[in-house]
Structure 1
């Protein structure tokens, strides 16, 4: 059985057209036709309904079952090609959310530089929700990720390194600034500065609003944490962030949230189970794990 035959079949199942498959792979149409025939001979089944026109391919039941398996093989082939393409570059494709990165990474930079790791890092900076998708899709190989629950996935290996708490962040002149804590249900009349859907914060905030039947008045959405804080400092609204997002130099007040339903914010080291870690990637994981767990 040829791997290329399986790739042709996978594309045929997707495009439903022999001509389109041949154009996609830049081969002659008989090449695709013969590939499908070889697979049928190999498995001793019909994969394509021959009563259908070549311009409108329909898979048989056996073809549909093979399609499920071939999709997995195709994804793995794509991942291998990506990894092999970067293998000689020694690049560490690393996901780093801005809040986690701003809090932990500057203090680690000199150590990573001395170990010869920093210069090999190609960081992708975005919210944890987006980075998790990039990790699963093979666009990055490992990441520090935030989550509101332990990461459980058949594709991802992860370890919780530490946790943080969500808080309401306000201007010092806000009527909430002097409170020791605030109940989430009491925020229904507040105006908010919201984060984009790339962030775990947005999902947790939305879940808490749904739980308390709140329809938040969001004045502005942004994917820039620093801009969100600046807008709060200008009294545009309040926002929902973890404690570590607020620096001692920020002219803001963090108010604890008194709500048993509020989940923690976990920080985890994660990588794809199918990814073979390089020596430098293993060293990076060890450095990050040691440093972050010691800050607990």
Structure 2
């Protein structure tokens, strides 16, 4: 069977009037994320956010059914995680964050991690993984990380790059080797205190800002701070030496295939037993 990968939704709470739904919350999927996943011969589905505060709701969202029907989860990037979500005070009076999305994605994480299904977090998704396991975040690298290089530039956006080093013994070094690699950098927050069971996979070599994390007790739970989906062609996209995003996605999908194969063998075995009982 074709692998089915779920992608968390980005939420737009106040759409601009030109979209035609000015008073409705919108959910969306950044198109290159779907292309990155589906270019490897699998099917991707955006997992809808269901507002359980809506008065007309009949029952809770079927999280268990969603997890059971999908083979892995990818968390999109996006807006900052609320400081309150990990027990901190906001770094400034007014911040761009979304507690509704935090709660929605943390629920998804709980379901997939409890089911031992692979999870890959991208940028914000990597930070949310750290928060899920009890870690904290640096809320603003330029003001809270002395000596930091540029990790975000509104003028360059997805054209800003820097080197990362993969740590000895890391899963990323197994995938890519130990040579320094260049990646996109579109973030002003990063991992601070690591969550329980997590280890660093990569750092920015000049300022040592964390760039990737992994859970040691799970088959595949990893987060990367860069956006591999933005430059699937690597250097072909006009960014010399940019890291090839293919091997990372293949490693994630191989983990999903192993997990799916195990579950389908178990399902077939149970069906055989039920048939014998009849």
TM-score, with normalisation over the residues of structure 1?
0.23
TM-score, with normalisation over the residues of structure 2?
0.24
Higher helix share: 1
Q: Which has the higher contact order (CA 8 A, sep 6+)?
A: 1
Q: Which has the larger radius of gyration?
A: 1
